[in-house]
Amino acid sequence: MDKRPKGPVAIGDAIQAFLREAGLGSRSRDSEVFRAWREAYGGEDARPVAFRNRDLVVEVDSSALLQDLRSFTADRFRRKANELLGDERIRRVVVKLKGSR
Protein backbone atom coordinates (compact mmCIF):
# COMPACT_ATOMS: atom_id res chain seq x y z
CA MET A 1 0.00 0.00 0.00
CA ASP A 2 1.44 3.38 -1.06
CA LYS A 3 1.45 6.04 1.68
CA ARG A 4 2.23 8.88 -0.69
CA PRO A 5 -0.33 11.68 -0.69
CA LYS A 6 -2.44 12.29 -3.76
CA GLY A 7 -1.98 15.72 -5.27
CA PRO A 8 0.35 18.59 -4.41
CA VAL A 9 2.25 18.71 -1.12
CA ALA A 10 3.99 21.68 0.52
CA ILE A 11 7.74 21.51 -0.07
CA GLY A 12 8.47 21.70 3.68
CA ASP A 13 6.21 18.71 4.34
CA ALA A 14 7.85 16.76 1.53
CA ILE A 15 11.34 17.48 2.88
CA GLN A 16 10.35 16.50 6.44
CA ALA A 17 8.83 13.25 5.16
CA PHE A 18 11.96 12.49 3.16
CA LEU A 19 14.23 13.17 6.15
CA ARG A 20 12.09 10.94 8.37
CA GLU A 21 12.09 8.09 5.85
CA ALA A 22 15.85 8.45 5.29
CA GLY A 23 16.51 8.42 9.04
CA LEU A 24 17.99 11.91 8.93
CA GLY A 25 15.35 13.81 10.93
CA SER A 26 17.06 13.38 14.29
CA ARG A 27 20.43 14.41 12.86
CA SER A 28 18.88 17.64 11.67
CA ARG A 29 17.51 18.31 15.17
CA ASP A 30 20.90 17.45 16.67
CA SER A 31 22.62 19.97 14.40
CA GLU A 32 20.13 22.64 15.54
CA VAL A 33 21.03 21.88 19.17
CA PHE A 34 24.77 21.89 18.40
CA ARG A 35 24.45 25.23 16.58
CA ALA A 36 22.47 26.76 19.47
CA TRP A 37 25.10 25.58 22.00
CA ARG A 38 27.94 27.04 19.94
CA GLU A 39 26.14 30.37 19.68
CA ALA A 40 25.20 30.42 23.38
CA TYR A 41 28.67 29.39 24.53
CA GLY A 42 30.59 31.53 22.06
CA GLY A 43 33.84 29.57 22.13
CA GLU A 44 35.50 26.58 20.54
CA ASP A 45 36.82 24.91 23.69
CA ALA A 46 33.52 23.27 24.73
CA ARG A 47 32.35 21.23 21.74
CA PRO A 48 28.96 19.50 21.51
CA VAL A 49 29.51 15.87 20.52
CA ALA A 50 26.19 14.10 21.17
CA PHE A 51 22.54 14.76 21.95
CA ARG A 52 20.58 11.87 23.48
CA ASN A 53 17.40 11.80 25.53
CA ARG A 54 17.52 15.60 25.80
CA ASP A 55 21.04 15.46 27.30
CA LEU A 56 23.68 17.47 25.44
CA VAL A 57 27.17 15.97 25.77
CA VAL A 58 29.92 18.60 25.57
CA GLU A 59 33.61 17.73 25.32
CA VAL A 60 36.37 19.96 26.71
CA ASP A 61 40.18 19.83 26.59
CA SER A 62 41.04 21.07 30.08
CA SER A 63 40.11 19.90 33.55
CA ALA A 64 39.78 23.54 34.67
CA LEU A 65 37.08 24.19 32.07
CA LEU A 66 35.46 20.86 32.91
CA GLN A 67 35.16 21.92 36.55
CA ASP A 68 33.94 25.42 35.70
CA LEU A 69 31.20 24.18 33.38
CA ARG A 70 30.11 21.37 35.70
CA SER A 71 30.03 23.57 38.78
CA PHE A 72 29.03 27.00 37.60
CA THR A 73 28.28 27.91 33.99
CA ALA A 74 26.85 24.99 31.97
CA ASP A 75 23.28 25.65 33.12
CA ARG A 76 23.48 29.29 32.07
CA PHE A 77 24.61 28.25 28.57
CA ARG A 78 21.90 25.54 28.48
CA ARG A 79 19.21 28.13 29.21
CA LYS A 80 20.60 30.46 26.54
CA ALA A 81 20.75 27.63 23.97
CA ASN A 82 17.14 26.67 24.76
CA GLU A 83 16.15 30.31 24.34
CA LEU A 84 17.77 30.31 20.91
CA LEU A 85 15.98 27.06 20.03
CA GLY A 86 12.65 28.46 21.18
CA ASP A 87 11.88 25.51 23.47
CA GLU A 88 13.28 23.48 26.36
CA ARG A 89 14.93 20.90 24.12
CA ILE A 90 18.10 20.55 26.22
CA ARG A 91 17.33 19.12 29.67
CA ARG A 92 20.91 19.05 30.94
CA VAL A 93 24.49 19.43 29.81
CA VAL A 94 26.91 16.56 30.44
CA VAL A 95 30.51 17.79 30.34
CA LYS A 96 33.30 15.32 29.58
CA LEU A 97 37.05 15.67 29.33
CA LYS A 98 38.29 14.84 25.81
CA GLY A 99 39.47 11.24 25.68
CA SER A 100 37.50 10.11 28.74
CA ARG A 101 34.65 7.63 28.48
21 domain-assigned: no
- Containing H/E element for 63? helix 63-68
Phi, psi of 56 (to 5 degrees): -95, 120
5 domain-assigned: no
| pLDDT 10s digits, 50-67 | 999 999 999 999 999 999
78 domain-assigned: yes
CATH number (domain holding residue 40):
3.30.300.180
Q: Quick check: pTM over 0.75? A: no
Containing domain of residue 82, as a range? Answer: 31-97
State the total domains in the chain: 1
| pLDDT 10s digits, 5-55 | 678 878 867 776 675 565 555 566 799 999 999 999 999 999 999 999 999
25 domain-assigned: no
